[in-house]
Structure 1
Amino acid sequence: MTRAAVRRVLAPSESIHAAKEAYIGYTVRAEGRLDPDALATAFDAVTRAYPHLSARVEFTGEGAVLTESEDPAARPEIRFADGDPSRPLSGLDLDQSRALSALNVVRDGDEAGVCLAIQHSVADAHHATAILAELWSCYTDVVEGVPLDPVRHPYPRSLEDLLAERGIHASGPAIPVAPPPAPAPSTRPDPVVRHVVQHRLTAAETTALRELGHREKVTVNGLVSGAVLLAEAEIRDMPLTDLVYRYSVNLRDRLTPPVGATEGTNVLGGVGFQVPSGMAPDAVVIGRAIGTQLRAGLSDGSVQRSILDMFSRPAAAKPWDPKLALAVVSIMNWGVAPPMRTPDGLRLTNLHSASRMRETIALGGYVLSTSGGRIGIDLGWPEGDPSLPRRVECLRERLARLTRER
């Protein structure tokens, strides 16, 4: 019996990323001997195990549609080039009408930036880093002579389907959302590529931040968020209370039953926060307030419903109001990266982000992650942004002051 090809209309939480042709790069820095043939073999195995990586997006009268490739031999691109490993998307031709993933390896001697780029419609960071860990596990097996026998995974499901299955629906009656039209080539904005600058804490600084959070009963996410908000108010020369802070929440372990890392595409909630008037301009105080609001939102279900409500009740989703764009401070929290196996002679030293998407207004944002026991904060601003050096220095000082003064 011939297996029917997968074809489904993307849900609103997915199609917004198709409209922007948004690819996120999940990049590890590798040091040592990297075998190109073994990596190509591993990537081929992973794309067979996760067929959505080889799928494509097309626009029809139904809107953005996820379509399985008609050619079973078609595989996403893997590319090797010499260059600057800190620019992991350099030279990569990304096209969602061909494939929803690619692997780009930028080498400089024994150092390389290995970037798994995935179209955001089909994977968030928690999904993608799980695949990244499997890629390195397969690579290690190939190098060590262990046969690969990848298990084919089903296509991931949308947030909307996963929530509905668990009895979670939007707060009010849904407003019909017209499917996004196919982007007209003549009107599409040019792609904006963000090769990030990362401020990475040392192991000692990471430990100090965690210990501070434990003492003050504030999460690391809260502490970093407080420091970022204070830095952004300084850089933008704006009152702290005018900033609109938005951040992502991984819902997988907050749903019953929980959702596996690659079972869903974007299994996220979105939270908006504003520092209230009269609150002390202190990262611990701000971080504690962020945590209190988050716990309340998870308790009453508003965080779980947040993306549904964003589409069904746009007026209720003020942090995403385009008119507030210049006041928005955004952080995507990737959490703790899963362990990644490597063979003898190769070491993975870091994880960071990159992105490429078509945007009319190109703003900056942050990505928070932890790998190798160290916290990394990516500053993803468009190429050549003149504020970036000062922004990095201001954030560094705010974080240093946070642990130094307590």
Structure 2
Amino acid sequence: MTRTAFRRALAPSESIHAAKEAYIGYTVRAAGRLDPEALTTAFEAVCRAYPHLSARVESTGEGAVLTESGARPEIRFADGDPDRPLAGLDLDQSRSLSALNIVRDGDEASACLAIQHSVADAHHATAILEALWSAYTDVVEGVPLDLGRHPYPRSLEDLLAERGIHASAPAVPVAPPPAAPPSSRPDPVVRHVVQLRLTEAETTALVNLGHREKVTINGLVSGAVLLAEAEIRDMPLTDLVHRYSVNLRSRLTPPVGATEGTNVLGGVGFKVTDDLPPDAVAIGRAIGAQLRAGLADGSVQRSILDMFSRPAAAKPWDPKLALAVVSIMNWGVAPPLRTPDGLRLTNLHSASRMRETTALGGYVLTSFGGRVGIDLGWPEGDPSLPQRVDCLRDRLARLTRDL
């Protein structure tokens, strides 16, 4: 019997990333001996276990389609600057939706797993990252690989419908835009990031402050970022729109596994009100209160559905507000990553490449090895970046100093 090739249309929550040809890089920094042959074997095994990594996006008259590909995802080893983890990588979603780029400088290296955003959000991708380094360790140690084979992940729309969650209003049918000819597409914008990483002591101080004030790390960092952005942009704090996503996997019944869905997220917009003091703790507490209320009434779970069914109501995502938006994505605490003797993974940070007409900056919050990291993802050469880093460092120091 001949196996039927996989093929399905991308849902709206996925196709918005295909339209930008958006690849996100999940980059670990490595110190020690890295075996190219063993890493190639491990990556190929992971791609067989998770077939969407080897799939491609096809543009049709009906929209973007996820389908199988005859091409193998690229794995590339080169000497260079590990701070540029996407350098030299040829990313093409019509051929493959993932790649692995190793940039070495002596015993230091960056290993960047790049995945097209339409098939994986950060929580999905970090689970694959965990599988990759576990497989690499097994190969080096001579342990047979048995990763099984996982099904293609499902869209947020399907997962929510299966659980009886629907948009607040009927969706408005919108014909998919025709695919732009290659000559009219914007050039890819690459963001190798600058990361502001707290020490273990500073991270502990931030955790202790959060426990004492009953504010999450995400809330405290978000408050500090908003204060820094108001200062940098010379805008009233109340004019900024804080945009962030929420991992819904554990908040659905039944819960969704890390790689069962593509982008299993809710989208939230927050604005500082006039009655809030310009204080990171107070802002963080208000962000948490709004989120809890939105999860309780289901509006966060429905947010992406509502964005497509009632676009005018999704104000925090309105492109006209782009210059006032402060985007902070929270990758959470990275899972433990196994390594063989002689190799240490010392950090995790983001990178990205996407086609954009207007290239704006944003933040990614991570926690790796007991230390909080804040990635500043701005287009290369942005003149505001050094001042932005200094301003945010100062705001975070005010939170962690003498605690």
Aligned equivalents of 1:341, 1:176: Cα separation in 2: 47
Q: Does 1:184 align with 2:214?
A: no
Q: Does 1:31 align with 2:31?
A: yes
Displacement after TM superposition at 1:402 (Å):
1.3
How far does the alpha carbon of each residue in 1:256-305 deviate from its partner, in whole angstroms, 9 at most, with x for none? 00000000000000100000013100000000000000000000000000
What are the residue-to-residue correspondences of 1:6-405 with 2, within 5 Å? 6-69=6-69, 71=70, 74-404=71-401
Aligned equivalents of 1:27, 1:206: Cα separation in 2: 21
Gapped regions of structure 1 (runs ≥ 5): none
Give the partner amino acid of 1:121: S
Aligned equivalents of 1:206, 1:257: Cα separation in 2: 33
How far does the alpha carbon of each residue in 1:200-229 deviate from its partner, in whole angstroms, 9 at most, with x for none? 011111111011000001011000000000
- Compared with structure 1, are the counterparts of its residues 223 and 134 closer, same or farther at alpha carbon in structure 2 (3 Å cutoff)? same
Structure 1 contact 19–180 (Cα < 8 Å) conserved: no
Structure 1 contact 15–180 (Cα < 8 Å) conserved: no
How far does the alpha carbon of each residue in 1:291-339 deviate from its partner, in whole angstroms, 9 at most, with x for none? 0000000000000000000000011100111111000000111011111
How far does the alpha carbon of each residue in 1:233-270 deviate from its partner, in whole angstroms, 9 at most, with x for none? 00000000000110010000000000000000000001
Secondary structure of the corresponding residue to residue 24 of structure 1: strand
Give the partner amino acid of 2:128: I
Aligned equivalents of 1:173, 1:140: Cα separation in 2: 49
Aligned equivalents of 2:174, 2:146: Cα separation in 1: 42
In structure 1, the partner of 2:4 is 4
Displacement after TM superposition at 1:405 (Å):
6.4
Identity of aligned residues (%): 87
Q: Output the TM-score relative to the length of structure 2.
A: 0.99
Secondary structure of the corresponding residue to residue 125 of structure 2: helix
Displacement after TM superposition at 1:147 (Å):
1.1
Displacement after TM superposition at 1:183 (Å):
2.3
Give the partner amino acid of 2:11: A
Give the partner amino acid of 2:114: A
- How many residue pairs match? The answer is 403
Aligned equivalents of 1:142, 1:124: Cα separation in 2: 27
How far does the alpha carbon of each residue in 1:324-378 deviate from its partner, in whole angstroms, 9 at most, with x for none? 1000000111011111000000000000000000000000000001110111100
Aligned equivalents of 2:306, 2:316: Cα separation in 1: 12
Q: Output the TM-score relative to the length of structure 1.
A: 0.98
Aligned equivalents of 2:106, 2:285: Cα separation in 1: 45
Give the partner amino acid of 2:25: G
Secondary structure of the corresponding residue to residue 183 of structure 2: coil
Displacement after TM superposition at 1:181 (Å):
2.1
* Root mean square deviation, CA, Å: 0.8
